[in-house]
Structure 1
Amino acid sequence: MKKFTGVLLVMALQGVFFQPALAQEEKTALVPLPSVDDFSRGDDGWSFGLGLGIEYETAYEGSDEFGVEVQPAGAVQWRNGDDVFYFAGEALGWRGLRSDTWLFDVAVGFDEGREEGDSDDGHLDGLGDQDEGAELVVQVRRTLDDDWRNHLVGRVVTGGDGTLGLFGVGHRFGNQYDGSGSEINLVAVFHDSEYANKGFGITAEQSAASGLPVTQMSGGFRSIGLNYNYRQNINENWQIFGEALYEHFSSDVQDSPIARSDYEAEVGIGFIYIF
């Protein structure tokens, strides 16, 4: 974590479902950002959301192949004031609001890795499979105004295969404080050489097996990314969400034989039932 067709789709759905949401009593989320799950309805204690999402996305980083994937959605959360502990899919984490202006989020999750079979056209043949591995994700957001209308965002992802970081700005649309509405973020993404080579490097052994030239990546600027999130409450229990993501790779990444496209994209939509 795609393109502008996804933005148009979720904006159209926003118009369809917006009126029922207005009739609800508004609940206060930890922060009113649609990209941050909060099923607590503003109350302390346990909360639980369960659903499914459908994603249309590139098959792997740098791929020119696309596919549809069904993913579980939702999380188990426990809230205590300005702190939320959560388990969402393969991620276990904590997020906390400080001074009403800083949002911290720390999670341990898993990188799915990459398999040769991810390319139906055989573009990964000979490169071998990459194992799934644990990774630490640390994110910080800082609001620039009183109502989280505009904010700065920074994120670091690190594990056994290098480190990726991003920094950018975001804007929230709508006046709701229950976490519904829409949000857009523009970020610059950087990676170290280890992370870059995991996705786009080719060793001598891989070169011999695949026929692709040996490629040694260096760290630095990776891409510019644009991410749009949408979330709307249909009624007391049902919620619709959508996401569109576009990442345009730097020239260094595009020069890798693995990068058969100069961008990565994803668009998704789904429903969650809040218990």
Structure 2
Amino acid sequence: MKRITGLLLAVLLPGLFLQPALAQDQKTALVPLPSVDDFTRGKDGWGFGLGLGVEYESAYEGSDEFGFEIDPAGAVQWRRGHDIFFWAGEALGWRGLRSDIWLFEAAIGFDEGRKESDSDDGRLDGLGDTDEGIEVVLQARRAFNADWRYWLDGRVVSGENGNLGLFGMGRRFGEKKDGSGSEIGIVAVFHDSERANRDFGINPSQSAASGLNEANLSGGFRSIGINYNYRTYINENWQVFGEALYEHYGSDIQDSPIARNNYEAEVGIGFIYVF
């Protein structure tokens, strides 16, 4: 659940004389959404993308500390018709297009949890590290028509440390079907009590060690967020992507001593080479 660089990236677009040739070389992506990468160029078989992204983001959920982080970007993909199997970082999964307006996805990923050292200011001292764990992500997106101009989105994230439910809607900008352009989405997030207390709860022993008041949260509404994605081709092989995210927490989370801010935010930019 992770965007305000459009003007900067637009400067990197190739000249007008390169556009027709590039458009002929690029094939239709599985769905033309910048947030859903497709490195297969519309062909069956293998697709590879490798790059780096730089993010300026909250140090942890609810943090009032921000910092830069460099992360790998890209994926290994294998496509057959309207199905893509992928390995992207710590996630292994499948996505498939059905009836031109339904996109389904299932993936297994790794949740790194939270460490006391994530706070340079010692805000997490005494709370200990939260558990790492495996997560299963199931997602369905439904477009209003085959050009994916507008869509609805539903996701369930279930793992060893609790569950999340996400429900949103979005709009795509741009006319190309190769996955370039931009999009904006709004999402409401819900969590169960296990996930809520893993991220924002403070039990009696943590309270004694940290000096923070106890906090026991119930499940329900977690946050409302807005995210922006941008992707374009510099040339036949190089992609530039940008993303920005703002997530505003519900009142229960804001009352937790762990939440030093009532929001989480992130902005990033990166490059990917498509083989």
> 1:34-183, aligned counterparts within 5 Å?
34-183=34-183
Per-residue CA deviation, residues 231-261 of structure 1 (Å, 9 max, x unaligned), is 0011110000011000000111100000000
CA offsets, 1:179-200, max 9 Å, x none?
0000111011111111100100
1:13 matched to which residue of 2? 9
Equivalent residues of 1:202, 1:213 under 8 A apart: yes
In structure 1, stretches of 5+ residues that fail to align are: none
Quick check: 2:12–2:234 contact (8 Å CA) kept in 1?
no
Tell me how far apart the structure 2 counterparts of residues 197 and 78 of structure 1 sit (CA, whole Å). Answer: 38
Q: Deviations over 1:65-112 (max 9, x none)?
A: 001000000000000000000000010000000111100011000111
- In 2, Cα distance between equivalents of 1:18 and 1:249: 40
Residue 22 (structure 1) aligned with residue 49 (structure 2):
no
Q: CA deviation digits over 1:47-79, x for unaligned, max 9?
A: 100000001000000000001000000000000
Shift of 1:27: 1.4
Q: Helix, strand or coil for the counterpart of 1:16?
A: coil
Q: Percent identity?
A: 69
> 1:131 Cα deviation (Å)?
2.9
Q: How many residues are paired up?
A: 271
For the aligned residues, what is the CA RMSD? Answer: 1.3
Shift of 1:145: 1.9
Unpaired stretches in structure 2, ≥5 consecutive residues: none
Distance 1:235 1:159 in 2: 40
CA distance in 2, matches of 1:112, 1:227: 22
Distance in 1 (alpha carbons) for counterparts of 2:6 and 2:246: 15
Residue 33 of structure 1 aligns with which residue?
33
